[in-house]
Structure 1
Amino acid sequence: MATGSISSATGIAPKYTVKGHGGPTSQEPTKDGHQVILVTRINGAVFALNPDLVERVDCTPDTVVTLVDGTKYVIAESVPEFIDSVRHYRASLIAQASRIEPEPTMTPVSSSHDELDAKVLPLHRKDR
Structure 2
Amino acid sequence: MIDVTRLDRRAVSPTYSINPDLIERIDENPDTTLHMADGATHIVAESRAEINDRIARYRAYVISLAREMYAAPTPGAPALSVVRPADDRRGAPGHTNSRK
TM range (shorter): 0.5 to 0.7
State the partner residue of 1:43.
Answer: 8
Give the fraction of aligned pairs with identical amino acids, expressed as a percent. 40
Q: CA distance change for structure 1 residues 104 and 71 in 2, over 3 Å: closer, same or farther?
A: closer
SS of the residue aligned with 2:39? Answer: coil
**C-alpha separation in 2, matches of 1:92 and 1:56:** 22
Could you tell me how far 1:60 is from its partner in structure 2? 1.3
State the partner residue of 2:23.
Answer: 54
* Higher share of residues assigned helix: 2
TM-score, structure 2 length as denominator? 0.65
Could you tell me how far 1:98 is from its partner in structure 2? 0.3
Corresponding position: 1:87 with 2:56: yes
TM-score, structure 1 length as denominator? 0.51
Deviations 1:24-65 (A, max 9, x none): xxxxxxxxxxxx111001112101111011101000110000
Deviations 1:68-127 (A, max 9, x none): 11100000000000000000000000000000034588xxxxxxxxxxxxxxxxxxxxxx
Gaps in structure 1 of 5+ consecutive residues: 1-35, 106-128
SS of the residue aligned with 1:85? Answer: helix
**C-alpha separation in 1, matches of 2:29 and 2:2:** 22
Q: CA distance change for structure 1 residues 104 and 83 in 2, over 3 Å: closer, same or farther?
A: closer
Query: Which is higher, the Rg of structure 1 or of structure 2?
Result: 1
